[in-house]
Amino acid sequence: MEKILVLTETIGGSGHFQAARAIRKGLNRANRGVKAEIVCGLPHFNRQLEGMIRKVYLSTLHHAPGLWGAVYNKEREFSDAFRSSLARILSGKMSELLNIRQPAVVIATHAFCLGALAEVKDRVVRPFRLGAAITDFDVNGFWIHPAVDFYLVAHERVAEKMIREFGVEDRRIYRTGIPIDPDFTEPPECKENLRVRLGMDPEAFTVLLTGGGVGLGPLDQTITQFRRDLPQSQLVVVTGKNRELYDRLQARFHGDRKIHLFGYVNGMRDWMGASDLIVTKPGGMTSSEALATGLPMLICRPIPGQEERNSRFLIRERVALRQDRPQAIPRHIHPLLQDPGRWREMGKRAQALGCPRSSLDAAQVILDHLK
């Protein structure tokens, strides 16, 4: 049985790991006699280093997001030096991992260990084919390496940039979409039935509020403003792994029947299917799931860097609005509620842009690269 290794990280939220799980699920559904395994690279190398990087990253996002954006946007200055120096540091441990697992294909859903994989791919006991699943609607130079055999990308615009700005050959790029759970391919249940099943008002305008896997963003202010300006709406609030935020919101809004509060949710398909709008940070995974559902987006305070670029893409495609002031969000969407035709068109464009089969298509590309 051939082995496929999906290498990922959890240092920046759950999106990269979710993409890895979606790929594994797609491969399992393909049922082609392969064994797919997910491994997080940094813990294998050094758990203390992983903890430090996570702490620094999240602290930067909370207290100095502009600093992260500045570093991210200096990709041309930093990417080559960062990738090569990191590859040298990680290559020894990476060789140990690969010599034990001996995969035929390795697919990375995070760029951190990509350079190390490229460094050792032809020097391990069993050389392998190397792929990269880029989990945003833009590409950063950290992802680009001549030793990568194939890329899975979100959209044609990403492929065009890779060809134009980084010289990647078109034959190495596959426009699969960002890998999401293959459950999104299943026919949707009607919103009213879903809401009844999930214990909600079947008739109320329903807004899904989320701050991503780590629960970032001004959820407190946004909830308060919705309750003031659109009291007839009901809110589904997902705080991710931010337990402190969950406890604070639970203490503040407990007993409000219009607010349905959850922590980390394993699978967003039903909650998105039951909603009319998602207010969110535009992480690649959340955005891809919303598009696959045909769910219009309102973006609030994206992280500078990758999320800022995702925002530009989604707004340009006319599937998202943006309002960075939480107190203005309900008023911002009110005109759309008065114009149902415009709202429906926004949802249709989202659905046309979405790739619900992305993980199944990604699995086929990976299987095609088995030696």
CA distances from 368 to 4, 36, 151 (A): 12, 15, 13
8 A C-beta contact, residue 158 and residue 134: yes
For range 262-290, the mean pLDDT:
92
- Residue that wins the pLDDT comparison between 70 and 316: 316
Q: What's the pLDDT at 1?
A: 82
Strand partners for 151: 132, 173
Q: What's the pLDDT at 288?
A: 98
Work out the mean pLDDT of the chain and round it to a whole number: 88
Provide the b/e sequence for 337-348 (b: ≥16 CB within 10 Å). beeeeebeebbe
- Residue that wins the pLDDT comparison between 172 and 67: 172
Query: What does the DSSP 8-state code read for residue 236?
Result: E
| Digit-coded pLDDT (tens) for 99-138 | 999 999 999 999 888 888 998 999 999 999 999 999 999 9
3-state secondary structure of 297: strand
Q: Which residues contact 198 (CB under 8 A, 6 or more apart)?
A: 260, 270, 271, 274
pLDDT at 329 over 70: yes
3-state secondary structure of 355: coil
For range 178-200, the mean pLDDT:
94
pLDDT at 214 over 90: no
3-state secondary structure of 266: coil
8 A C-beta contact, residue 302 and residue 281: yes
Strand partners for 4: 36, 105
Q: What are 18's two structure tokens?
A: 């979710």
Q: What's the pLDDT at 52?
A: 67
Q: What's the pLDDT at 336?
A: 79
DSSP string, 34-91: EEEEEEEHHHHH-HHHHHHHHHHHHHHHHH-HHHHHHHHTTHHHHHHHHHHHHHHHHH
3-state secondary structure of 147: coil
> How many other CB atoms are there within 10 angstroms of residue 251's CB atom?
8
pLDDT at 240 over 60: yes
109: left (phi over 0), alpha (psi -120 to 50) or beta: alpha
- Max CA distance (Å), the chain: 64
- Residue that wins the pLDDT comparison between 256 and 176: 176
Q: Which residues contact 261 (CB under 8 A, 6 or more apart)?
A: 237, 239, 246, 249, 250, 253
8 A C-beta contact, residue 275 and residue 236: yes
CA angle 213, 177, 371 (to 5 degrees): 110
- Cα 138 to the chain's mean position, in Å? 12
Q: Which residues contact 64 (CB under 8 A, 6 or more apart)?
A: none
Report field, pTM of the whole predicted structure over 0.85: yes
Q: What are 58's two structure tokens?
A: 């999240």
Q: What are 140's two structure tokens?
A: 């950063």
